[in-house]
């Protein structure tokens, strides 16, 4: 057999062996019979657009976050976008935020015409370094927009104090942090919170978002913005958008809310198991005392020149991994022209080194043991 044919055959055999391995996914939405029944009830009702399920979901989520108001919208990005607009943030304004997040965090700042001001992160939590924020505040600063990355709360007491001192808004990107708390106080209640219900989040409706606030004027402005500026049907008091949540999504959300605490406890247990076994070998996630990290992701740090090898080897051994995030926002093509001279070394190092392992609540005891075993094999 010619060498090229033999090589191709061996590659095919190897690929077939890899495909036959039981793969432990890095994320897995948990939906079942209750969610299917909820969808059926909505479909049978004939009320598919915003209605009683949306109202009930908003009320339940406000209770979860211990706030007066919650306004459901079509996505986490929409929640962030409308929150900025509700505070009147626009051209000429600055918003302080993190460079280490999904790009939506900064995109919404740009979409309202404002300028993101990136501040470096903490090396252990990967959250914005609150100690650096005050130096970044200028006369043009209108808001601080931190991200509770991976489900780990930011230093909200310090950020809230800075926002109050300088009379600027605190808008929390809590899209990964459902049910995270600090000393029992939920994220999304320190400032105006923005959550996502994308398919891989700690609770899901497939897509969707919500804004939480104790300011009735902000809530009312977002209600207008999400539905073409209508204060009542066909009466448009401002120019708005179509960013509503559907009844189907809200019905799913109500079921998922019932399960959220169980999901969260399982994520925390899975994370504790992994940290107990890996903590002597790699940098594992860290949280301040009293901070409830809800582990949307469980991210370790690996040598940057070894990360691709680790990902490939773990996949060959049945463990899916992911990188959240491989490029800081200020180095993205859409941003690097504006921020070409900006150096944020902690965020840049994290982007080269982080690696997310499976931690989702569907992970079985046998699967998490495999994850720990295979990672340890690479460490030794």
Is residue 11 situated within a structural domain? no
Check residue 38 and give its pLDDT: 95
Which 3 state secondary structure label does DSSP give 115? strand
Q: Judge whether residue 291 has pLDDT over 60.
A: yes
Check residue 188 and give its pLDDT: 98
Same domain, 91 and 225: yes
93-112: b (≥16 Cβ within 10 Å) or e: bbbbbbbbbbbbbbbbbeeb
Give the total number of structural domains in the chain: 2
Same domain, 235 and 349: no
User: How confident is the model over 131-151, as a mean pLDDT?
Assistant: 98
Is residue 8 situated within a structural domain? no
Other residues' Cβ atoms within 10 Å of the Cβ of residue 301: 19
Check residue 47 and give its pLDDT: 87
What sign for the dihedral angle of Cα 113, 156, 356, 117?
positive
Check residue 20 and give its pLDDT: 62
d(C-alpha 124, C-alpha 180), whole Å: 17
The percentage of the chain sitting over the pLDDT mark of 70, rounded to a whole number, equals: 95
Is residue 362 situated within a structural domain? yes
User: How confident is the model over 267-295, as a mean pLDDT?
Assistant: 97
Is residue 20 situated within a structural domain? no
- Better-scored residue on pLDDT, 5 or 284: 284
Q: Judge whether residue 63 has pLDDT over 50.
A: yes
The per-residue pLDDT for range 315-350, each reduced to its tens digit, is 999 999 999 999 999 999 999 999 999 999 999 999
Same domain, 123 and 269: no
Q: Look at residues 199, 231, 253 and tell me which one is the last residue of a structural domain.
A: 253
We report the CATH number of the domain holding residue 240 as: 3.40.640.10
Is residue 194 situated within a structural domain? yes
d(C-alpha 351, C-alpha 326), whole Å: 5
- Better-scored residue on pLDDT, 11 or 138: 138
Same domain, 235 and 269: no
Q: What is the dihedral of CA 40, 41, 43, 48, to 10 degrees?
A: -130
Q: Look at residues 202, 236, 253 and tell me which one is the last residue of a structural domain.
A: 253
Mean confidence (pLDDT) of the chain: 94
Check residue 15 and give its pLDDT: 44
Which residues touch 84 (CB under 8 Å, ≥6 apart)?
A: 95, 108, 109, 112, 114, 143, 145, 171
Q: Look at residues 188, 221, 253 and tell me which one is the last residue of a structural domain.
A: 253
Same domain, 41 and 176: yes
The per-residue pLDDT for range 161-216, each reduced to its tens digit, is 999 999 999 999 999 999 999 999 999 999 999 999 999 999 999 999 999 999 99
Domain range spanning residue 169? 33-253
Same domain, 306 and 246: no
Same domain, 202 and 275: no
d(C-alpha 209, C-alpha 198), whole Å: 8
Is residue 310 situated within a structural domain? yes
Residue 50: pLDDT band (50, 70, 90) is confident
The per-residue pLDDT for range 4-43, each reduced to its tens digit, is 433 343 343 344 444 567 899 999 999 999 999 999 999 9
Is residue 363 situated within a structural domain? yes
Is residue 243 situated within a structural domain? yes
Check residue 33 and give its pLDDT: 96
d(C-alpha 375, C-alpha 380), whole Å: 9
């Amino acid at each position: 057999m010619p060498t090229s044919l033999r090589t191709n055959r061996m590659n095919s055999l190897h690929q077939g062996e890899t495909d036959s391995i039981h793969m432990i996914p890095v994320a897995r939405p948990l939906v079942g019979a209750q969610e299917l029944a909820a969808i059926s009830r909505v479909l049978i009702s004939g009320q598919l657009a915003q209605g009683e399920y949306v109202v009930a979901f908003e009320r339940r989520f406000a209770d979860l976050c211990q706030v007066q108001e919650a306004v459901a919208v079509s996505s986490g990005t929409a929640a962030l976008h409308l929150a900025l607009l509700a505070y009147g943030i626009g051209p000429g304004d600055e918003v302080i935020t993190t460079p280490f997040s999904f790009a939506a965090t900064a995109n919404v700042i740009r979409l309202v015409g404002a300028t993101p001001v990136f501040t470096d992160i903490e090396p252990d939590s990967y959250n914005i370094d609150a100690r650096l924020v005050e130096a970044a505040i200028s006369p043009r600063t209108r808001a601080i927009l931190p991200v509770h990355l991976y489900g780990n709360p930011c230093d909200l007491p310090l950020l809230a104090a800075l926002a109050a001192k300088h009379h600027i808004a605190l808008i929390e990107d809590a899209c990964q942090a459902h049910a995270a708390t600090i000393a029992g106080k939920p994220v999304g209640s320190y400032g105006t919170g923005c959550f996502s219900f994308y398919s891989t989040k700690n609770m899901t409706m497939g897509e969707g978002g919500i804004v939480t606030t104790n300011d009735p004027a902000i809530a009312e402005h977002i209600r207008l913005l999400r539905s073409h500026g209508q204060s009542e049907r066909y009466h448009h008091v401002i120019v708005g958008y179509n960013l509503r949540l559907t009844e189907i999504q809200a019905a799913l959300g109500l079921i998922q809310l019932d399960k959220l605490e169980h999901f969260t406890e399982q994520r925390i247990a899975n994370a504790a198991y992994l940290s107990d076994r890996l903590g002597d070998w790699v940098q594992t996630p860290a949280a301040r005392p009293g901070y409830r990290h809800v582990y949307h992701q469980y991210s370790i740090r690996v040598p940057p020149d070894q990360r691709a090898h680790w990902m490939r080897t773990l996949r060959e051994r049945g463990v899916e991994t992911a990188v959240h995030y491989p490029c800081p926002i200020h180095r993205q093509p859409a941003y690097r022209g504006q921020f070409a001279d900006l150096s944020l070394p902690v965020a840049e190092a994290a982007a080269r080194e982080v690696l997310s392992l499976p931690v989702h609540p569907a992970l079985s005891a046998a699967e998490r043991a495999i994850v720990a075993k295979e990672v340890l094999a690479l460490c030794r």
